[in-house]
Structure 1
Amino acid sequence: MHDKIPLSESRINIDLNTSFSSIDTGMVEKFEKSLEEYYGHQKSILALNSGTSAIHLALILCGVEEGDEVLCQSLTYVATINPIIYQKGSPVFIDSEKDTWNMCPIQLELAIQDRILKGKKPKAIILVHLYGMPAKIDEIVCIARKYNIMLIEDAAEALGAEYKGKKCGSFGDFAILSFNNNKIVTTLGGGALICNTKAEKEKAFFYATQAKEKESHYEHKEIGYNYRMNAAGALIGLSQLKKLKEYLQKRRAINDFYKDYFKEFSGVCFLKETSLNVTSNHWLSCFYFDNRVVDADKYELMEFFKKNRIEVRFLWKPMHLQPVFNDFPYYGDKIAESLFLNGLCLPSGSNLIKNDLKRISESIKKFL
């Protein structure tokens, strides 16, 4: 029997002889400095225990409170949305556009105008770079500034992606990264909040470490959280960051392989860069079937892959279609829904070898 081919995996090699104090924060601070160096020392970055924690802190720093509305794209992972609920806010879901599959700027502005007419000007926008593909950043940043709305950039899936030569995570009032187990760089669970100023980072640190006041005793005037990254995760992250360039090259080569292989199959449409301004990290290589051209069932294909021990995944189910979010407004058509109904993510891990890609391609050929 063949070994299972995972969807997205990174091989971790660490020096188990490395020792450090369980209460020393030096390793975490070193990881933060490495991230700040990666962003050209233009940002202040706080290492946390998850990307979800980072979004939550960003919302707090944006002043999102009970009853406030936050605009966010519908086609995303639920972790983008849950922190809005933590703050007792209300998500307002926006459809995707066809080029990048990310938030549609046209629907975004229509939503803002309609919410303002209803007396509910949104407090923040959460922009996602889905599967590592940069969104239409210029348009969305322009809209956020036009209406004076804070912009949070969810770059959880987009470390290493760039827009006009500038790294994703550089464009918002705040941005976040994820170092979850399946990301290009992992800390075996972790994330980061990207701030524009040191003061913002210090305020985020205050909330991430239980909101302890600067007193000799334990004094608390606000609710805080246990969101800090641990030293072991930071140690892994330092090792992983050194290999980011290598990992990016491998993910992009895998994506090139898939696009080239699928050329012979009509009706198979890949998520790809549509402009020279955009450089995806291709965290996951994704496609959808154009059902006007090809009669294929993604559920049958997924089951076929499963029997061949190849892990594939459905595209995210849009948040406005999730039962838990039924009562929140949605602006758009059915682009996100159509992508979900017809799309799949293929194995894209940095550890894939030629034999893995051969197995995957042969399986696809048998099915189609």
Structure 2
Amino acid sequence: MGVQEQQLINEAFELNWIAPVGPHLQKFEQAVIKYTGAGGAVALTSGTAGIHLALRASGIKEGDIVFCSSFTFVASVNPILYMAAVPVLIDSEPEGWNMSPEALRTAFRKYEKKGMLPKAVLVVNLYGQSADLKKLKAICDHYEVPIIEDAAESLGATHEGMSSGTIGKYGVFSFNGNKIITTSNGGMVVSDDASSLEKIRYWSTQAKDPADYYQHSEVGYNYRLSNVLAAIGCAQMSVLDQRIEARRNVFRRYYEALHEIKGISFTKEIHGCSTRWLTTLKMNLSCFRDTPETIVKRFEQYNIETRRLWKPMHAQPLYTGCDYVKHADNQSICDELFETGICLPSSSNLSVEDQNKIIKHLKNFLAESKV
């Protein structure tokens, strides 16, 4: 948080715009529209709510198939269950770690033979980088299936000159506390489809019909972002580019210090510009006695929090019954990533001094565990 956030919160209180809807809410939506080039936007209580309403706007109904990235956080997939639809989980590609075009193509062919094409494809843009949306979109367009971009982690990233979140029919951003900018809690759906955004706005405010009394013809939700949190968002948008630069500098320092260590590799920046929301690396386990699990525990001894990469959804107890389509017959990329990957501290306000401590410890751990 900076100085401007408090000023705009005070302004919201002075104007008495505390409840959802208000001038800061519209300003926040307009700021995201201007920054991304999206046709329109609706601010919501969370990115999860945004995915839920984007699925509903895509016409998803009970029993429908939705293809979704397996290598992600559970919030990407849970809204498919909210709709009583059926997730089919898609593997990652080995360089950028996002959805594999090869696996997606295999999944389409498999389900086309069954006569059960998906109603939507939910592509997750991981760790601040857009997926290979040019290839993914070409596949989806061939089958006339819309893409929903879960761009929760990638606001500010680009793909071939286009903003992450604006390439699919719908894009969803998150402003949760751990994202590159935050409203404490919040999210936003963007789209060029104005009529669909109007429906999303309608559903997000309990689907109240235009009448002089409370009348409801459809199920709605209490999903609209509050004006107070939107005031924070307005201030945060003004520093987004600075946050991106800070995260990229964090990555650069890690890379320069560690990339020559045998058995270590970082996510490649492909298909456009990554925000480097998190710096992530893989360990070649044949080179070390330590595993990512033991490295995380060794960092804990120094009060430094690191994390494993996402445990894939097809390996989660909640989703073990779901179909999973691999990158190749004999290769599951996202299982490899979970077994070999680590997220390093990557905050925009991580000091160089603290980062140097992290680098020093990691170098020592890896040297001590060399095979």
State the TM-score bracket (shorter-chain normalisation). over 0.9
* Root mean square deviation, CA, Å: 1.3
Report whether the alignment pairs 1:308 with 2:302: yes
Larger deviation: 248-257 or 198-207?
198-207
Identity percentage of aligned residues:
38
- Give the aligned partner of residue 360 of structure 1: 358
- Give the aligned partner of residue 316 of structure 2: 322
Match of 1:28 among 14, 25, 29: 25
Encode CA deviations 1:134-180: one digit per residue, 9 max, x unaligned. 11111100011000111101100001111112110110011100000
User: Cα distance, 1:197 vs. partner?
Assistant: 2.6
- 1:300 alignment partner AA: T
Report whether the alignment pairs 1:45 with 2:41: yes
- 1:37 alignment partner AA: K
Match of 1:340 among 319, 338, 341: 338
User: Cα distance, 1:324 vs. partner?
Assistant: 0.8
Secondary structure of 1:202's counterpart equals helix
- 2:306 alignment partner AA: V
- Give the aligned partner of residue 190 of structure 1: 186
- Give the aligned partner of residue 95 of structure 2: 99
User: Cα distance, 1:59 vs. partner?
Assistant: 0.2
- 1:20 alignment partner AA: L
The answer to whether the 8 A contact 2:285-2:291 is kept is no
- Give the aligned partner of residue 84 of structure 1: 80
After superposition, residues 231-310 of structure 1 pair within 5 angstroms as 231-274=227-270, 277-310=271-304
User: Cα distance, 1:119 vs. partner?
Assistant: 2.1
Structure 1: distance between partners of 2:194 and 2:332: 41
Encode CA deviations 1:255-289: one digit per residue, 9 max, x unaligned. 01111111231111111214xx4110000000110
- Give the aligned partner of residue 166 of structure 1: 162
Structure 2: distance between partners of 1:93 and 1:17: 45
The answer to whether the 8 A contact 1:289-1:296 is kept is no
- Give the aligned partner of residue 4 of structure 1: none
User: Cα distance, 1:314 vs. partner?
Assistant: 1.0
The answer to whether the 8 A contact 2:36-2:156 is kept is no
Secondary structure of 2:99's counterpart equals coil
Encode CA deviations 1:81-134: one digit per residue, 9 max, x unaligned. 000000000000011110110111111011111112112111100011110121
- 1:365 alignment partner AA: K
User: Cα distance, 1:14 vs. partner?
Assistant: 2.0
Report whether the alignment pairs 1:142 with 2:134: no
Structure 1: distance between partners of 2:249 and 2:43: 30
Structure 1: distance between partners of 2:31 and 2:227: 14
- 2:54 alignment partner AA: A
Structure 1: distance between partners of 2:116 and 2:253: 47
Q: Which runs of 4+ in 1 moved over 3 A?
A: 10-13, 292-295
Structure 1: distance between partners of 2:135 and 2:106: 13
Structure 1: distance between partners of 2:94 and 2:106: 17
Relative to the length of structure 2, the TM-score reads 0.93
- 2:26 alignment partner AA: E
What are structure 2's unaligned runs of at least 5 residues? 367-371
Secondary structure of 1:47's counterpart equals strand
Secondary structure of 1:320's counterpart equals helix
User: Cα distance, 1:341 vs. partner?
Assistant: 0.8
- Give the aligned partner of residue 6 of structure 1: none
What are structure 1's unaligned runs of at least 5 residues? 1-9
The answer to whether the 8 A contact 1:267-1:293 is kept is yes
User: Cα distance, 1:291 vs. partner?
Assistant: 1.8
Structure 1: distance between partners of 2:165 and 2:332: 28
Encode CA deviations 1:174-226: one digit per residue, 9 max, x unaligned. 11000000000100010000121322211110100001111111111110000
The answer to whether the 8 A contact 1:73-1:128 is kept is yes
The verdict on how the C-alpha distance between 1:360 and 1:11 changes in structure 2, with shifts beyond 3 A counting, is farther
The answer to whether the 8 A contact 2:92-2:98 is kept is yes
Match of 2:225 among 222, 229, 233: 229
- 1:305 alignment partner AA: F
User: Cα distance, 1:75 vs. partner?
Assistant: 0.2
User: Cα distance, 1:25 vs. partner?
Assistant: 1.7
- Give the aligned partner of residue 69 of structure 1: 65
Secondary structure of 1:201's counterpart equals helix
User: Cα distance, 1:309 vs. partner?
Assistant: 1.2
Relative to the length of structure 1, the TM-score reads 0.94
Match of 1:14 among 6, 16, 19: 6
Match of 1:54 among 50, 58, 68: 50
Structure 2: distance between partners of 1:143 and 1:11: 43
The answer to whether the 8 A contact 1:44-1:194 is kept is yes
Report whether the alignment pairs 1:211 with 2:207: yes
User: Cα distance, 1:11 vs. partner?
Assistant: 6.2
The answer to whether the 8 A contact 2:70-2:92 is kept is yes
Structure 1: distance between partners of 2:262 and 2:133: 31
